[in-house]
Chain A
Amino acid sequence: MSNEKLQQFMKELDGNLLSDDAKLSAEMFDDENSVICIKVEDREEFPIYMTLDEGQILCTTHLFGEDQVDQSRRAEMIEDMLMLNISIPLSAFSKVGGQYVMFGALSPNSSTDDLLHEIELLSDNVLDAIDAVSEFLKEAA
């Protein structure tokens, strides 16, 4: 049931434009049809993964792994993230295993416009968030 709804979301989102005309692509990410992978044009590095359960639609983007964090400043970064959480519109930080993520949750009855709004905000928030905490990340090798 939820998989069918997710497929419907995928069809509705794929090819849609955001307010700045950036194009979305949406495709099933797994064989079980339980995750949609959404990419915003020009921001393909940070795909948004959409899942659905009885209680909510979850849009999640992976920011970086623990291995990218400067361990000597980890506590400082986490405190910053925690403080920042409330100011970020509709998205919040979280951590799954060794992955820092940003996510937004919506009602399962959301419209396509609601989803588009969420995706646009999350995508913007992700870039701003990485910018904000980049000082705590290790320089890329």
Chain B
Amino acid sequence: MSIFKKLITALRGGATEVGEAIVDTQAIRILEQEVRDSKTALNDAKTNLTAIMAEKMGVDRKVKDLGAKIKEHEGYAMQALDKGDEALATDVATKIADFEHELNIQNGILEGYASKIAALKKMIRQTERNIQAMDREISVVKTTEKVQKANDLASAKFSGSTSSLRSATDSLERIKARQQKREDQSAAAMELESEESGGDLQARLKNAGIVDSGSSGSSVLERLKKQKEKS
């Protein structure tokens, strides 16, 4: 069974009945047991992997040695042939054949180990994934249970109107109302500030054309000079 199917089976238990426990504790206990079993299996697999990898290294060495020996003896055979010693060359060739036979056997063993290692690695990865998924699920369920209990406790304190206390739409409305109030308050505060700094009056005077918005340093100086001339 895939891990996701397993989780669904475990979690469906209590989910169908409204108001019941989040998930029946039996299902969680089964999941927890499964996590423990998986962890044991994981440890075994890792120990196995280490052992097989060590054995494979031994075979690797043998294969390398045999390869070297074959090459070495091929050299001897050639030298024997060069010297015209056919009999010696034949003996060496027989030896090479033995080595090659052994090399074939060891290569077969090596392949066997390699595929075993690949399978174990795959299994370890899958088991780790499964353990993480189950751990996560257990943690989520436990957290939800804690939150639920706390909520129940809180609503019991406000006895009576439990449904309105816990209604999501009501909560949303309350939040929206608070947000609106905050926005209104800050808008009002800004208005007040601009009024206090005379911004509002100035703006109204400008709009009414009473105050010249184009007033500048030079125009003020001009006005003052004229006033001085008159006096």
Interface residue ranges, A against B (CB under 8 Å): 29-30, 34-35, 42-43, 45-46, 49, 51, 53-56, 58, 60, 62-68, 95-99, 101, 127, 130-131, 134, 137, 139-141
Q: Mark B153-197, 1 if CB is under 8 A from A, else 0.
A: 000000001011011111110111011001000000000000000
B190 to chain A, nearest CB (A): 16
The tally of CB-CB contacts under 8 A between chains A and B is 109
Q: In the assembled complex, which residues on chain B have CB atoms less than 8 Å from the CB atom of A63?
A: 168
B169 touching A137 by the CB < 8 A rule? Answer: yes
Q: Can you list 16 contacts pairing A with B, beta carbon distance less than 8 Å?
A: A42-B178, A42-B179, A56-B136, A63-B168, A64-B166, A65-B18, A67-B18, A68-B166, A68-B167, A96-B11, A97-B14, A97-B21, A98-B22, A99-B144, A130-B168, A130-B172
Known: A55-B136, A56-B136, A98-B15. A140 touches B143 (CB 8 A): no
Known: A127-B175, A141-B163. A62 touches B144 (CB 8 A): yes
A18 to chain B, nearest CB (A): 14
Kindly state whether residue B140 has any CB partner on chain A within 8 Å: yes
Interface residue ranges, B against A (CB under 8 Å): 11, 14-15, 17-23, 132, 135-136, 139-148, 150-151, 161, 163-164, 166-172, 174-176, 178-179, 182
B140 touching A29 by the CB < 8 A rule? Answer: no
Q: How far is the CA of A128 from the CA of B161 in the complex (A)?
A: 25
B140 touching A54 by the CB < 8 A rule? Answer: no
Q: In the assembled complex, which residues on chain B have CB atoms less than 8 Å from the CB atom of A65?
A: 18, 166
Instruction: Please list the 10 inter-chain residue pairs (A to B) with the smallest Cβ-Cβ separation, ordered nearest first.
Output: A97-B22, A45-B171, A64-B168, A140-B167, A96-B144, A141-B163, A55-B132, A66-B18, A130-B172, A140-B170
Residue among A43, A65, A66, A96 facing the most chain B CB atoms (10 A cut-off): A96
Q: In the assembled complex, which residues on chain A have CB atoms less than 8 Å from the CB atom of B17?
A: 98
A95 touching B147 by the CB < 8 A rule? Answer: no
Known: A43-B175, A54-B132, A60-B140. A96 touches B18 (CB 8 A): no
Q: How far is the CA of A139 from the CA of B164 in the complex (A)?
A: 9
